[in-house]
Chain A
Amino acid sequence: MSENNAWKKFQSFVVNTQVWRAIFRTGIPTTPRQRMMVVLNGVFLHLHPVRLPKHAVKVKYTWCMGGLSFFVFLVLTITGILLMFYYRPTVEYAYGDIIDLREQVPLGIMREIHRWGAHLMVITVWLHMFRVFMTGSYKPPREFNWAVGVILLVLTMLMSFTGYLLPWDQLAIWAITVGSNMAGATPFVGTGGPGSSLLAIGDVNFVTSTSDAKFAMLGGRFVGEAALLRFYVLHCIGLPFVMMIFMIVHFWRVRKDGGISGPT
């Protein structure tokens, strides 16, 4: 009993210090008022509303998949930043750096977490879409947010696709070769696509193997040095940047469209 008392005293001392109160405005949330304030005052918890209907927090309704997708995205960001310390996106160094990540770097499972996390994120995003469909949550007023979600789904797969090239092994370049060959078959703007030969004046073709969609994607006619740099920049900066913007809109609209869906 006395031990418990001492702990209580210590606790109340800590939460009343100037430092603690400077950081946590509300103190330890024990009363309903404090519990509301802690969500309202915090920048991160402020993503949430203060109160929710009970069905909205049940795992059997949400499957947690949207939240987990966001969480895995954060894990991927953190591990990705760590990987960038070691990885150089050049044909000369890329493969060796990946080997070193396992062999030389302490706690060498960052790449594993990053790769499996990427697969996991694709899966959680798909299951999130599945859940949203099954609960009819795309129906008015949430039509637009469903479309934003579809864009985020594409961006997730593009993130994963651009990352696939970076280890610069056989698996990587041939998977990207298969993917980029499709770009070369785009109607009108790919050399192997229908209609590209129509875009010509006399004998001068506008769409050639050095000016088509595949070339724009790879920065060359084949998966090489330029493609590696392009995919690296897109993977680390370009696509995450776009994705952040769509995520902000997605989360904002969840709140503005009336919070998580529910029976009316």
Chain B
Amino acid sequence: MIEAIKAFINKFTNPQILFPLLAVVYVFVFPINKFFLRINERLGIYKLWTNAGGALMIGTLFSFFCFGMTDANFRKIVTKPDNVPIVGLLFLVVFFLWFAMKQAYENDARIAAGKRPNEAEDAKEKILVWPDLVYIELIALILCSVLLLVWAMSLHAPIEEPANPSVSPNPSKAPWYFLGLQEMLVYFDPWLAGVVFPTVILLGLMSIPFIDNNTKGSGYYTFKDRQMAVSMFMFLWLVLWIFLISVGTFLRGPNWNFFGPFEYWDSHKLAALTNINLSEYVYMIWMKRELPTNILLREMWGFLVLGIYFGLMPLLFAKTFLKNVFKNLGPLRYSVFVILLLLTLSLPIKMLLRWAFNVKYIIAIPEFFFNI
């Protein structure tokens, strides 16, 4: 029985299943527009942000880890010293997500009733920094120090064999906070996953205040006053950041193959995959002929796809379901926003293309290391 459950979870946690599932769940938990909000309300999903919902989420996570710790393979990965903080991170993220959303929904209810948010109620009273803030800080420092000391005394910092450039461990993993990027390496070449995307992520983060021109929702927790901003951020933060790091940490074993949480990391596990480039699809499979020798002729389909994706789609979106966004943001803000959005979506799209059609590259010019 227990073995069957483990086998099921091993299958189920495969990113090919879990990622699309998370993406679907996400749409309903963080409704991006009125339509999904209505479904969310009808299904009662917003009840996640009540005390009972919080207990349910933390409880589920906790019991999963308790159940997992009975398994030797699970225990081995989770208790690796450098992985312990990520287990902590998972609990903290779920807790603070609930904590923020609970306050947001409380404030939304107040605002709907014509009252001001809780923070505004509190802000009426002015307090002195000494002693009211200084004491809170002191207590926070003491608690944090205690946590660090207990952690340091109970868990040794990892130290492995002395460095040996001729023996590379399998898998070789980057530090845990970069594992989301390393996970992207499965779908994109290093110049994109390791250089271009991180740069875009940082510039994109910095541009948030300049894109989001919604004046509501500044200085208090709220969901409904800035529904779209919060929901989009949640996709980046929870799905593309925290989830990918967790996959990279817990579920990627030798040769960067996928391993379920209860699976033994067998370095001989075979993942037979023949990935095909878009150009090969077009010429060899659909047209049944040789690849042209001219690079541009060979890859023009890929360029066409990207041209449509980044050139035509923004225009199309501006006329259709992002009509209101376009109206609110104006052409310049909208352009930056939609390009960032399309770049973000390119990761899940590439994932789906890989899983469903074994697509390796949209544009493949290995002659210039230019593969997309």
Residues of A whose CB lies within 8 Å of any CB of B are: 29, 32, 35-36, 38-39, 45, 48-61, 63-64, 67-68, 71-72, 75, 91, 95, 98-99, 102, 109, 111-117, 119-120, 122-123, 126-127, 130-131, 133-140, 142-143, 146-147, 150, 153-154, 157, 160-161, 164, 167-175, 177-179, 181-187, 190, 192-198, 222-224, 261-264
Neighbouring B residues of A139 by C-beta, 8 Å: 209, 212, 214-215, 217-218
Q: Which of chain B's residues has its CB closest to A117's CB?
A: B148
CA distance A130 to B157 in the complex (A): 28
Asked if A59 and B136 make an inter-chain contact with CB atoms under 8 angstroms apart, the answer reads yes
User: Contact partner of A123 among B82, B89, B158, B217, CB < 8 A?
Assistant: B89
Number of residue pairs A-B, CB distance < 8 angstroms: 284
Instruction: Evaluate whether A263 and B172 lie within 8 angstroms (CB atoms) in the complex, with A68-B140, A120-B85, A171-B160 already known.
Output: no
In the complex, how many angstroms separate the beta carbon of A119 from the nearest chain B beta carbon?
4
User: Contact partner of B221 among A134, A161, A197, CB < 8 A?
Assistant: A134
Neighbouring A residues of B173 by C-beta, 8 Å: 174-175, 178
Instruction: Evaluate whether A49 and B370 lie within 8 angstroms (CB atoms) in the complex, with A127-B92, A223-B165 already known.
Output: no
In the complex, how many angstroms separate the beta carbon of A240 from the nearest chain B beta carbon?
18
Instruction: Evaluate whether A179 and B136 lie within 8 angstroms (CB atoms) in the complex, with A39-B129, A55-B122 already known.
Output: no
Asked if B152 and A263 make an inter-chain contact with CB atoms under 8 angstroms apart, the answer reads no
Neighbouring A residues of B369 by C-beta, 8 Å: 185, 192-197
Instruction: Output the residue of B124, B164, B174, B214 with the most chain A CB within 10 A.
Output: B174
Q: Across the A-B interface, give the 4 residue pairs with the lowest CB-CB distance, nearest first.
A: A182-B194, A143-B209, A185-B190, A112-B152
Asked if A35 and B128 make an inter-chain contact with CB atoms under 8 angstroms apart, the answer reads yes
In the complex, how many angstroms separate the beta carbon of B227 from the nearest chain A beta carbon?
12
A-B contact pairs, 22 of them (CB 8 A): A50-B128, A52-B126, A52-B127, A59-B136, A61-B122, A112-B153, A122-B85, A126-B89, A130-B93, A133-B230, A139-B214, A170-B167, A175-B175, A178-B173, A178-B174, A178-B182, A185-B195, A194-B368, A195-B368, A195-B369, A263-B116, A263-B220
Neighbouring A residues of B145 by C-beta, 8 Å: 75
User: Contact partner of B172 among A51, A58, A137, A175, CB < 8 A?
Assistant: A175
Interface flags, B148-166, vs A, CB<8A=1, else 0:
1101110111111111110
Neighbouring B residues of A123 by C-beta, 8 Å: 85, 88-89, 92
Asked if A179 and B89 make an inter-chain contact with CB atoms under 8 angstroms apart, the answer reads no
Q: Which of chain B's residues has its CB closest to A36's CB?
A: B128
In the complex, how many angstroms separate the beta carbon of B81 from the nearest chain A beta carbon?
8
B61 at the interface (CB under 8 A from A): no
Neighbouring A residues of B129 by C-beta, 8 Å: 39, 45, 48-52
Neighbouring B residues of A146 by C-beta, 8 Å: 206, 208-209
Interface size, B (range): 35 or more
Instruction: Output the residue of A154, A185, A198 with the most chain B CB within 10 A.
Output: A185
Instruction: Evaluate whether A131 and B190 lie within 8 angstroms (CB atoms) in the complex, with A137-B219, A146-B208 already known.
Output: no
Q: Which of chain B's residues has its CB closest to A186's CB?
A: B195
Asked if B140 and A136 make an inter-chain contact with CB atoms under 8 angstroms apart, the answer reads no
B244 at the interface (CB under 8 A from A): no
Asked if B119 and A111 make an inter-chain contact with CB atoms under 8 angstroms apart, the answer reads no
